[in-house]
Amino acid sequence: MADDSLAAHRRDPIKSSVGNVAAQRRRQNAATVGKERRESLVRAKRLCRVGAPGDGDVPFEENDMMTDEEGFLLEDQTSSAVKELKSAVAYQGKGAMQKRVNALRELRRLLSKSEFPPVEAALKAGAIPLLVQCLSFGSPDEQLLEAAWCLTNIAAGKPEETKALLPALPLLIAHLGEKSSLPVAEQCAWALGNVAGEGEELRKVLLSQGALPPLARMMLPNKGSTVRTAAWALSNLIKGPDPKAATELIKVDGVLDAILRHLRKSDEELATEVAWVVVYLSALSNFTTGVLVKSDALQPLVERLATSNSLQLLIPVLRSLGNLVAGDSHTTSTVLIPGHEITDGVVKVLVKCLKSDHRVLKKEASWVLSNIAAGSIEHKQLIYSSEAVPLLLHLLSTAPFDIRKEVAYVLGNLCVAPAAGEGKPNLIKEHLVSLVQRGCLSGFIDLVRSADIEAARLGLQFTELVLRGMPNGDGPKLVEQEDGIDAMERYQFHENEDLRNMANGLVDKYFGEDYGVNE
């Protein structure tokens, strides 16, 4: 049976030489399964397709795209396999156990062969009750493993297929316990992760059946693929929107320690899945956010951002950092104090993300910066004088739209002081003048022209700052030079009344009758 060291290989699929041929065939058939494929890719569920080497199995074949004939054949084989399993389960004589394992193995192979396993056929043939029987207490590990594997893949597809696992849930949860062998526990966790990934309803069921504590405990060891799979399953289980599960998780003895430990020390793959758990812990409730901030979770997050180059890891780590900054005013006011080492560290890693090639990192790093820039004057000065500003200015004119919008938030926040009661916030003239001189205005006028309401509003608001705040009455001239008047005049026939009023108001106030007469 697979042991820990072999289990570590389980998640690495073996790429065979027929890979390219299969890829080609797949592309040819792409149109027909385009939508199905897209959906399966985007789901939070994962197929288990590779086992541990050395279990007597044939080498893994890439056989993703099948002809219709091959598909029908597979369905037939699956129905037969289920029938075979049925008789094996009923059989009481000599060699019964081996018979059952063989039948399960055959079914498992059929359910692992392709990207779209014959789940419907298996369900129709009555696989679930049989698999539940195979999960009974006292069954040998091999049997438990194969049964859980089958259930994993049945649950990896369409919603109604995942829901079919309901009868199996209590047993799957039971086999998460410390008495189970690690590969068995891991495979059960995987199946449960798929179920949790289906939706809120199933998550509620799992939580009510007590899935959380055993999964949480599986995260406590220092390493192993079991820890990783459990973390992934937990991230699906606590993702909400109900914050109850997240709150429950963080209270489990030893979990917070384990999470911080993994963030600090574990290999990148494991840290990635744990980081996703932190993403949800940091965003779902004030309580969990607060606990993380107070436990100094920022430090290992910053450390990872500084040292890692794995996009898979950086995304959840960055987002966790962002959530902690956004969700708790404490973070900016008591932890990220300008001048402290950690604050410099945060700015540095955010700059690193701005420099990266990856869209998500640039966008979310800008978001985090915008929240820090929404802090005190000292925070604004800190960011203003950092390496971030030249990068942001460049992104404002060159990056895709969603990044530009976040960048706009940063730059604008740098130009206004924290709100103090009623009335318009004061300008930070030094920042405004400098940024405008470095050419940011055209980027904002571009946003004024956008069809996105939020972006257009940002553009108009910044334009107002320029019109009001540039010294020597330079504002209107500068805005005009960037075709700002044209951009604002577009709003006369715009369907959004707020934007119309904003734009008209600015044009009326700053480009009225007297404008330009004394040229």
Near other proteins in 301-330, by CB under 8 A: 311-312, 315-316, 319, 323, 325-327, 329
Q: With contact defined as beta carbons under 8 Å apart, do 150 and 142 qualify? A: no
Of 2, 311, 284, which Cα lies nearest the Cα of 142?
2
Helix axes 401-415, 377-384, angle to 10 degrees: 120
Nearer to other proteins, 62 or 146 (CB): 62
Dihedral (Cα; 383, 385, 390, 391), 10-degree rounding: -30
Least CB distance from residue 322 to other proteins, whole Å?
Answer: 9
- Residue 401 in the binding site for other proteins (CB under 8 A): yes
Which of 419, 429, 430, 437 is in the footprint of other proteins by CB under 8 A? 419
Least CB distance from residue 379 to other proteins, whole Å?
Answer: 10
Least CB distance from residue 385 to other proteins, whole Å?
Answer: 17
Among residue numbers 13 through 32, which ones bind other proteins (CB under 8 A)?
A: 13, 15, 19, 22-23, 27
Stretches 117-125, 157-165, 219-227, 235-243: which one binds other proteins (CB under 8 A)? 235-243
- Residue 439 in the binding site for other proteins (CB under 8 A): no
Residue 483 burial (CB count, 10 A): 15
How many Cα atoms are found within 13 Å in the side-chain-facing hemisphere of 298? 26
Q: How far apart are CA 206 and CA 173, in angstroms?
A: 9
Residues in contact with 400: Cβ distance below 8 Å, sequence separation at least 6, in sequence order = 359
Q: How far apart are CA 230 and CA 21, in angstroms?
A: 35
Residue 416 sits at φ, ψ, to 5 deg, of -120, 140
Nearer to other proteins, 57 or 64 (CB): 64
How many Cα atoms are found within 13 Å in the side-chain-facing hemisphere of 74? 22
Q: How far apart are CA 100 and CA 418, in angstroms?
A: 69
How many Cα atoms are found within 13 Å in the side-chain-facing hemisphere of 258? 24
Nearer to other proteins, 340 or 358 (CB): 358
Stretches 204-212, 252-260, 362-370, 389-397: which one binds other proteins (CB under 8 A)? 362-370
Nearer to other proteins, 137 or 493 (CB): 493
- Residue 363 in the binding site for other proteins (CB under 8 A): yes
Which of 115, 120, 141, 242 is in the footprint of other proteins by CB under 8 A? 115
CA distances from residue 236 to 116, 230, 326 in whole angstroms, order as listed: 22, 10, 22
Nearer to other proteins, 114 or 139 (CB): 114
Nearer to other proteins, 214 or 484 (CB): 484
Q: Give me the long-range contacts of 56-60 (CB less than 8 A, separation at least 24).
A: 57/109, 59/14, 59/16, 60/13, 60/14, 60/16
Stretches 93-101, 296-304, 335-343, 448-456: which one binds other proteins (CB under 8 A)? 448-456
Which of 3, 28, 38, 201 is in the footprint of other proteins by CB under 8 A? 38
Which of 339, 451, 472, 473 is in the footprint of other proteins by CB under 8 A? 451
In whole angstroms, what separates CA 385 from the centre of its chain?
32
Tokens of 190: 């995987």
Which of 367, 389, 431, 484 is in the footprint of other proteins by CB under 8 A? 367
Question: Binding residues for other proteins, how many (CB under 8 A)?
Answer: 99
Least CB distance from residue 390 to other proteins, whole Å?
Answer: 21
Among residue numbers 40 through 99, which ones bind other proteins (CB under 8 A)?
A: 41-44, 46-47, 49, 62, 64
Least CB distance from residue 487 to other proteins, whole Å?
Answer: 10
- Residue 412 in the binding site for other proteins (CB under 8 A): yes
Stretches 128-136, 145-153, 185-193, 238-246: which one binds other proteins (CB under 8 A)? 238-246
Among residue numbers 272 through 291, which ones bind other proteins (CB under 8 A)?
A: 276, 279-280, 283-284
Dihedral (Cα; 265, 271, 276, 279), 10-degree rounding: 30
> Which single residue is written with the structure tokens 């553009």?
459
Burial of 42 (0-12, 13-18, 19+ CB in 10 A): exposed
Which of 129, 159, 418, 439 is in the footprint of other proteins by CB under 8 A? 418
- Residue 393 in the binding site for other proteins (CB under 8 A): no
Nearer to other proteins, 140 or 505 (CB): 505
- Residue 448 in the binding site for other proteins (CB under 8 A): no
Tokens of 360: 């998500």
Least CB distance from residue 40 to other proteins, whole Å?
Answer: 8
Nearer to other proteins, 124 or 358 (CB): 358
Among residue numbers 486 through 505, which ones bind other proteins (CB under 8 A)?
A: 486, 489-490, 492-498, 500-502, 504-505
Residue 91 sits at φ, ψ, to 5 deg, of -65, 130
